[in-house]
Copies of this chain bind each other. A is one copy, B any other.
Amino acid sequence: MPSSPAPTAEAVALDGRPLGKRGAATRRRLLDATARLLESDGVRDLRVVDIAREVGTSPATFYQYFRDVEEAVLALTAEVGEELAPVDQLLNRPWTGPSGLATAREMVDAFIRYWDAHRAVLRTRNLAAQEGDPRFRQVRNNSLRPITDHLATTVTESQAEGRVSAEISPMAAAAALVALLERMAAFHGDLESLGITRDDVVETTARIVHQTVTGAAA
């Protein structure tokens, strides 16, 4: 995932001053290096000296663009969060009827691929969110909200048609399914070492999602 082009991230220095061409390029290289090291070493061993060394620059340069490592990671998570949009698109396909299960399958598959592409950044984002950092919470919510809302709406529709129990809170169910998706995406590697294939993961997760959303029995 190196050298991804900044999607909407506007190059801005610490004091808000807009960045020139060279500065913007340096900032990007620092972000890419951060992503790379996050992947290989994990958050806890992410040192700014290493990021600087990776880019072939002085640590002081890093502090010209980011207050600390956390802020660089935050910028990264904001970028990555936007790349989830295509997955949300898949939810527009029909959920009811015979192709409903296929919709679920494709969505689950896309979601897992998304996680595979950005594993390190996403788990760091979720850790920081769990630790209570409001900025990371916000970024996470912004990224997942379209999917959550989409699922909640579909659950509500199913309830109106009596296929899903009224005891279920659509928002809670949607949050649960998103939680499930994230977790399966995060841990599917683990499961594979336990003899569960990736296809099993996709198929099973898709069926749980489909059943919960539409109420359709096995």
Contacts and interface: CB of A to CB of B under 8 A. Distances in A.
A130 B171 CA distance: 27
A191 B129 CA distance: 12
A123 interface: yes
B179 A184 contact: yes
B172 A204 contact: yes
B218 A196 contact: no
A168 B217 contact: no
Interface string A135-174: 0010000000000000000000000000111011101110
Interface in A181-218: 182-184, 186-187, 190-191, 194-196, 200-201, 203-205, 207-208, 211-212, 215, 217-218
Given A130-B187, A183-B183, A167 B207 contact: yes
A175 interface: yes
Given A179-B183, A190-B137, A191-B172, A218 B215 contact: yes
Number of copies: 2
A204 B176 CA distance: 8
Interface size grouping (class) on chain A: 35 or more
B129 A190 contact: yes
A74 to B, nearest CB: 13
A190 to B, nearest CB: 7
Interface in A7-37: none
Contact of A44 (B44, B129, B168): B44
A42 interface: yes
A147 B123 CA distance: 24
Contact of A180 (B165, B180, B196): B180
18 contacts: A42-B131, A42-B132, A123-B127, A123-B131, A163-B218, A169-B203, A169-B204, A171-B191, A171-B194, A172-B191, A172-B196, A172-B203, A175-B187, A179-B179, A179-B183, A179-B184, A180-B183, A217-B217
